[in-house]
Structure 1
Amino acid sequence: MRIFLLTLVVMTAFAANSVLNRAAVGGGHIGSLDFAALRLVSGTVVLAVVASLTGGRRWLSAFRPVNIGALSLYMLAFSFAYRVLPAGAGALILFGTVQITMFGGAIAGGEWIPWQRWLGAALALAGLGWMLLPGTQGLPIAAAVTMAAAGVGWGIYSLRGRAGGPPIDTTAASFLGAVPLGFLAWALAPDGALNGHGVTLAILSGAVTSGLGYALWYAILPALGATRAALWQLTVPVIAVLAGTVLLGEAVTARLVLSCALVVGGVAFGLAAPRRQT
């Protein structure tokens, strides 16, 4: 139950990132790469303080090039893609690619995947497709490929978290290592003015729902395994959609309710599968 509740908190944080990004960038309060750069910097500051208080300078030895590269790929590709992609279509591409990447990593690592988990993943993906795909025909190919690259980056970053180690140290080092790449992208492609509201939302996303959220994600990943972690992440678009109906007044339709039920049911069915053969 403890892992269940902590994972639910993390998925809510991930969904909040989408809502904050949409409110800030979609509302014209900040450019997408400005948001990404501030997200990385504010996350780094908070994580560095927490890591230093809990482990001194230990976190400075936790730099891992693959982690930094994967996090940078996710952050920057996510921001680039959402400059033109609709939020729903982007979420479907992102988490569909994460699912494929993490299942592929599990297979490559010799992890046993029961048939219930395959079926649960298929049902959840079908629910996401039903929820998000209609009306997204004619997507810009370059943006769709960029969002798929973000999904690969996040999938690799999540797979790396299974190795364990102090999660706050690894996350702080990864954020700090990604900051130069974030600023380089921002300097090469500035994309608009920003105001105090946009800055506040970016800092909130970086410091709380990204920085602390990712550290908690790394803390629970060893207990989940690759395919269970991948399944859990398919709930993020559902949480984001539900948040939109509550916070943004978006319409609730029968298709929305039924597709959410299909996603949640598929995830629950897959998570109920045995962890290993007996």
Structure 2
Amino acid sequence: MTSLLTATTLKTTILTILALIAFAANSVLCRLALDENSIDAASFTLIRLLSGALVLALILVMLKRFSSFSQKPVSKGSWSASLMLFIYALCFSFAYISLDTATGALILFGSVQITMILLSLFSNNRLQLSEWLGLIIAFTGFVYLILPELSTPSLNGFILMSLSGIAWGIYSLIGRGSQNAIMDTAYNFLRTLPLLLIVAAFTFAQAHLSQQGIILAIFSGAIASGMGYAIWYMALAGLTATKAAVVQLSVPVIAAFGGVIFVAEAITQRLTLSSLMVLGGIFIVIASQYYLTKARNPN
């Protein structure tokens, strides 16, 4: 029993880390494309979701040849999850037209965390004092990291990014019930296609495309979004709503270190301290839930 629990915990940890890296990579790709004006927000969203749907459909076709995959429950996502995915992606792109990176990240991850924790509380999943402590430390570290770059956000940008965060929080909570993560994610992406056609019809005249913008959108959709979100759905099976909300606060830290590695940015004292606060807060929440579960089920 202990070895099985350890294996499950290890699997969830690895999947969560991979998903968080994908989220951070996705953020970098989105900001790079929109900052350099190589593509418009609507086109980026369209290509991102379409490429994600195509890659996941191909993966699904290949996996169906394996008997181990065919034995899994048939699960085709839901229209509600697809709608949340679409709202998240569309609002995210348009919000960054009027928000800088740090302000947008704070609004997005703050609203994700608040949404998931509030919905969890409404489901009678009460937090213990130690969990609240870890949550506060992690969020404080996140705010401390981006505080010097914060600016007053535009009202439109604030509303759009808040909607994006709320939608992603709901999408994550829906995913906790997934029994076939790859199939659910693939069908969720495919169900966004009718909505994408509507957006394309209204924004076609204002479309602005370049080779660089298209490539960045494809990488964002196929790898960071499509594969990354499938991995996230797998990880969610082993995460509570609170834990899933808190661990996502590590994404800006991962992205910041990605800047150090790939853009030769300096490791600052602020980055080091905030990273310790965020990761320490996450550790407190996870450790608290582990010991509380162990206390309730000693055997």
TM range (shorter): over 0.9
The 2-side partners of 1:165 and 1:110 are apart by 23
The 2-side partners of 1:88 and 1:221 are apart by 26
Specify which of 65, 78, 87 is matched with residue 64 of structure 1: 78
Post-superposition shift, 1:61? 6.6
**Is 1:39 aligned to 2:44, yes or no?**
no
Determine helix, strand or coil for the equivalent of 1:28. coil
Q: 1:101 to 1:231 in 2, by over 3 A?
A: same
Q: What does residue 52 of structure 1 align with?
A: 61
Determine helix, strand or coil for the equivalent of 1:113. coil
My pick for the range that moved more, 265-274 or 248-257, is 248-257
**Is 1:84 aligned to 2:71, yes or no?**
no
Q: What does residue 6 of structure 2 align with?
A: none
Specify which of 77, 91, 107 is matched with residue 93 of structure 1: 107
**Is 1:179 aligned to 2:188, yes or no?**
no
My pick for the range that moved more, 35-44 or 61-70, is 61-70
Q: What does residue 162 of structure 2 align with?
A: 148
Post-superposition shift, 1:169? 1.2
Determine helix, strand or coil for the equivalent of 2:164. helix
Q: What does residue 243 of structure 1 align with?
A: 258
Q: What does residue 30 of structure 1 align with?
A: 39
Determine helix, strand or coil for the equivalent of 1:273. helix
Letter in 1 for 2:275: C
My pick for the range that moved more, 151-160 or 170-179, is 170-179
Q: What does residue 252 of structure 1 align with?
A: 267
Post-superposition shift, 1:59? 10
- Bigger Cα Rg: 2
Letter in 2 for 1:98: V
Post-superposition shift, 1:185? 2.6
Post-superposition shift, 1:186? 4.0
Q: 1:214 to 1:201 in 2, by over 3 A?
A: same
Contact 1:60-1:173 at 8 Å conserved across structures: no
Note the alpha carbon deviations across 1:146-171, whole angstroms, 9 max, x for none: 10110000000000011122111111
Structure 1 residue runs of 4 or more that deviate by more than 6 Å after TM superposition: 56-61
The 1-side partners of 2:194 and 2:46 are apart by 9
Instruction: Provide structure 2 residue ranges, at least 5 long, that are not aligned to the other structure.
Output: 1-9
Q: What does residue 3 of structure 2 align with?
A: none
Contact 1:59-1:173 at 8 Å conserved across structures: no
CA RMSD of aligned residues (A): 2.1
Contact 1:102-1:226 at 8 Å conserved across structures: yes
TM-score by length of 1: 0.93
